[in-house]
Amino acid sequence: MAKPKVYITKEIPKEVEDYIGQFCDYEKWSGKEKISREELLDKLVDKEGVLLSALKIDKELLDHAKKLRVVSNVSVGYNNFDIEEMKAHNVIGTNTPEVLDNTVADLIFGLILSSARRISELDKYVKEGNWKPEDEKNLFGVDVHHSTIGIIGMGRIGEAVAKRAKLGFDMEVLYYNRNRKHDIENRLGVEYCDFEMLLQKSDFIVLMTPLTKDTYHYIDFEEFNMMKTTAVFINASRGETVNEKALIEALQNNNIFRAGLDVYELEPIDSQNLLLKLPNVITLPHIGSAVEKTRSDMAMVAAKNLVKAVLGETPPNIVPELKG
Ligand code: DGY
């Protein structure tokens, strides 16, 4: 019997490609640039499955790719899926949870420490030859240990951040989530907190909520105004969960102490974006899961989801909204 046809849109490790090749007849994108929309539409005409990340799956694509049965994301986030259209077209969507939790949590802690103690800012200060003993007091940061962290979105990555905060840094951990997580409260001693109270009480605010139509600009002018002027705000989820204009205003007016960002409303960030001109924000290029082993594990999870689905079995990581 002929193998199902699938398309791979990004570079993946050889062993992952070989795994897909055992079960599928695959074609892959080999261009240096990201695949264009036109090329993708063209390639998907005769494919039953596609492995990708961050490419929009919408009505136009689904109408075009008539044989498509599965979109396998190499990411835990799936805001690139138009869930309603995928339901209407009977297309499964999968993601890669768990394998990246600790890697992303490590990066979030890097942003917390680096923002609090101004590590990247002061590294630049030294390298640019500005170090003067009389500056001593201007180099102060804020403590992370024994402070209060507020985590918005207590999923698996939120829990991994909470664990580091509680066990490593003796922090008081508050969290806000749609549903209370009694198991995590019992396991780690974290405290459920009302959303506004969390914004008001936290020294570090970590936004971990996925991007949906309900969380678009979840943190806006009003929310930044509720934060302490000494607060550090971290976003490593998706850029559009924050109104960047409100964040820029908060940073320009020193209404918060620092921000540490891995994600933006537009990626790659526009070179004119004011965030790039401000000294009190760290700007990373969406590297939450960017560790070779983690990316390789994510690719293998995505490959297994893809293969199961095109073989007519139920893949393990169908996104919750498309289950059942
Ligand atoms: C994800 O998997 O959604 C992350 O943003 C990748 O870094």
Q: Which residues contact 186 (CB under 8 A, 6 or more apart)?
A: none
Q: What is the pLDDT of residue 324?
A: 77
The pair of three-digit structure tokens given for residue 248, joined into one six-digit string: 């820029």
The atom number, within ligand 1, closest to the CA of 298 reads 2
How close is the Cα of 309 to the center of ligand 1, in Å? 22
CA 72 distance to own-chain centroid: 17
pLDDT score, position 1: 83
**pLDDT score, position 294:** 98
Ligand 1 contact via 79 beta carbon (within 6 Å) = no
Strand partners, 26: 6
6 in Cβ contact with 49 (< 8 Å): yes
Quick one: angle between helices 101-116 and 156-163, nearest 10? 50
Q: What is the 3-state secondary structure (H, E, C) of the chain?
A: CCCCEEEECCCCCHHHHHHHHHHCEEEECCCCCCCCHHHHHHHHHHCCEEEECCCCECHHHHHHCCCCCEEEECCCCCCCECHHHHHHCCCEEECCCCCCHHHHHHHHHHHHHHHHCCHHHHHHHHHCCCCCHHHHHHHCCCCCCCCEEEEECCCHHHHHHHHHHHHHHCCEEEEECCCCCHHHHHHHCCEECCHHHHHHHCCEEEECCCCCCCCCCCECHHHHHHCCCCCEEEECCCHHHECHHHHHHHHHCCCCCEEEECCCCCCCCCCCCHHHHCCCEEECCCCCCCCHHHHHHHHHHHHHHHHHHHCCCCCCCECHHHCC
Distance from Cα 288 to the centre of ligand 1, integer Å: 6
Mutate to test the pocket of ligand 1, among 72, 289, 297 (most ligand atoms within 8 A of CB): 289
pLDDT given at position 181: 98
- Say what the pLDDT of residue 6 is: 98
Per-residue model confidence (pLDDT) at position 253: 98
pLDDT of residue 202: 99
Sketch out the chain's domains with CATH numbers. Answer: 5-98+292-322 (3.40.50.720), 101-283 (3.40.50.720)
Distance 125 CA to ligand 1 centre (A): 31
Contact 259, 234 (CB under 8 A): yes
**What is the whole-number distance in angstroms between the Cα of residue 40 and the centre of ligand 1?**
21
Residue 95 Cβ contacting ligand 1 at under 6 Å? no
- Amino acid, res. 307: V
Q: In a mutational test of the pocket of ligand 1, which residue from 75, 80, 208, 291 has the highest number of ligand atoms less than 8 Å from its CB?
A: 75
What's the chain's Rg over C-alpha atoms? 21
Q: Is the CB of 74 under 6 A from ligand 1?
A: no
Residue-wise pLDDT tens for the chain (324 aa)?
899 999 999 999 999 999 999 999 999 999 999 999 999 999 999 999 999 999 999 999 999 999 999 999 999 999 999 999 999 999 999 999 999 999 999 999 999 999 999 999 999 999 999 999 999 999 999 999 999 999 999 999 999 999 999 999 999 999 999 999 999 999 999 999 999 999 999 999 999 999 999 999 999 999 999 999 999 999 999 999 999 999 999 999 999 999 999 999 999 999 999 999 999 999 999 999 999 999 999 999 999 999 999 999 999 999 999 997
The pTM is what?
Answer: 0.96
- Ligand 1: which atom is nearest the Cα of residue 236? 5
Q: Is the CB of 75 under 6 A from ligand 1?
A: yes
